[in-house]
Copies of this chain bind each other. A is one copy, B any other.
């Protein structure tokens, strides 16, 4: 009998072409599928909670796959980490899931964190791990603007071309802008996000933070419902896929 396995995955997105398998360049999906094949001899398809772009990191990406071979979670985890040992991806946890669990479709909500290094000098220890914004950001103004995004809205202003979602309507349940020293973080939760939505929201919020936009400018751009009215897309290296929340009963 087939067992469905749920993986929790950390990766440094810098070296990958993103989550999704491509013809050229190494994706996270391909790296892990290859490790599973090396471990089990089975060719499997891995399904992720959410795809990430090139350069975007994950602290707890979730994915599932099915295996015929009987085994245990710790054995799968240690075997995959062995085959992945030269790549910047690690399997944090492997748990048996119920047959109807689906990493993408069973998800109740997803969380992202965006990290901005906000100081004049660059930060060698944050290269590839944060967006360097030298101009001082007004975190209070950013939060005031961000509050406008909470709830169900048409997010077309923050939707990239190529988005495969049927609708631009999304429900943002939380967005928090915080500063700890030189580090400004934006954390946000939603059932799902449009393509580049977090990076586009952060890009526009940064205009409010530096004072180039007032909160009212931000509100007008949001209400315009067109990407052309939005600010820049924040770079991928500041973005971290944090967690996916599932209902209790889909994993065993």
Contact = CB atoms under 8 A, between A and B. Distances in A.
A91 interface: yes
Contacts of A12: 124-125, 127
A160 interface: no
Q: What interface size band does chain A fall in?
A: 20 to 34
Contacts of A123: 10, 90
Contacts of A93: 121
Number of copies: 2
A122 interface: yes
Contacts of A125: 10-12, 57, 59, 88, 129
Contacts of A81: 121-122
A221 interface: no
Nearest to A240: B125
A77 B122 contact: no
A165 to B, nearest CB: 29
A88 B121 contact: no
B91 A121 contact: yes
A127 B88 contact: yes
Nearest to A93: B121
Contacts of A11: 124-125
A89 interface: yes
Contacts of A10: 121, 123-125
By Cβ-Cβ distance, the 6 closest A-B pairs, closest first, are A88-B124, A12-B124, A90-B122, A90-B121, A92-B121, A11-B124
